[in-house]
Amino acid sequence: MTLEALIFDVDGTLANTERDGHLVAFNLAFKELGLDWTWSNELYHELLNVTGGQLRIKHYVNKYLPNFEIEDLNAFALKLHQLKTKKYVNIVEQGDMPLRPGVERLFNEARAAGLRLAIATTTTPANVDALITSTLGKEALNWFEVIGAGDVVPNLKPAGDIYHYVLEQMNLDASQCLAFEDSHNGIVSTTDAHLKTIITVNDYTDTHDFTGAAVILSNLGEPDQPFNLIQGNQTQARIVDVAYLQELHAQHC
Ligand code: XBP
Ligand code: MG
């Protein structure tokens, strides 16, 4: 079975959007709506276990604010989340959200090698648009055959729905693809879809359980900034390039 396609998670995998984007945007939205809530980095670590911004807001209210009086929590979370999305898009459009090491390089190398690319994320579609456009330019949105995002599927990660959706749209079997994730919820989702997964950790996820990962790395690496191998077979590879991916794909199929 040859390797045909690469499927990428977005938040935490393509860029450190959680720390530098989503968390900041949530706090800006709280302030603008006159709420005296501030989510610290430590609290956000825990809140990230719940995927999807609206669900995260509702989880916070239910767990931490038992006395918060609100008639319709769903409507409230929806309104707050819409404002948060605006704030997030603004932050990203300012251009201060660089892609993680090796991401742009790998996109280019994969395209040159004829690999098909796709995105599978639980974040809001507008957020993906803003991130890709601000880092790679608007035409780069066309690099991705499918951008599976948000509530296009009934269940967010850790459910496998979004990966099943992307595979179906691409008419590919999981054995023809590799997935890229950064979190426990992410690998639970890819595993449900039977996808071999490359993990690149970040500060929020470096202690997560990544059982089943093909390899766990610090990042995808650049020629002048090789990755650290955290778990997996030691090879000659110092950066994640197409040859390394083909090797991983062959080993783990
Ligand atoms: C990460 C998430 C997202 C973002 C927030 O998903 O859990 O919910 O934190 O995005 P992934 P929204 O790593 O799969 O991209 O507020 O737009 O839901
Ligand atoms: Mg992620």
Find the helix or strand (DSSP H, E) in which 43 lies. Answer: helix 41-47
Query: What's the rounded Cα separation, in Å, for the pair 122 and 179?
Result: 15
CB of 191 sitting under 6 A from ligand 1 = no
Domain interval for residue 39 = 18-93
Residue 93 has pLDDT above 70, yes or no: yes
Which among 3-7, 232-236, 249-253 has the top mean pLDDT? 3-7
Among residues 65, 93, 121, the one where a domain terminates is 93
Ligand 1 pocket check for 9: Cβ under 6 Å: yes
Where does the pLDDT of residue 253 fall: very low under 50, low under 70, confident under 90, or very high at 90 and above?
very low
Check pocket membership of 241 for ligand 1, CB cut-off 6 A: no
Q: Both 76 and 187 in a single domain?
A: no
Say which CATH number the domain at 210 has. 3.40.50.1000
Counts for the chain of helices (H) and strands (E), in that order: 10, 7
Distance 213 CA to ligand 2 centre (A): 14
- Overall pTM surpassing 0.75 (yes/no): yes
- Verify that 36 and 110 share a domain, yes or no: no
Which atom of ligand 1 approaches the CA of 186 most closely?
14
Tally of domains in the chain: 2
The sheet with strand 196-200 has its strands ordered as: 144-148, 116-120, 5-8, 177-181, 196-200, 215-217, 229-231
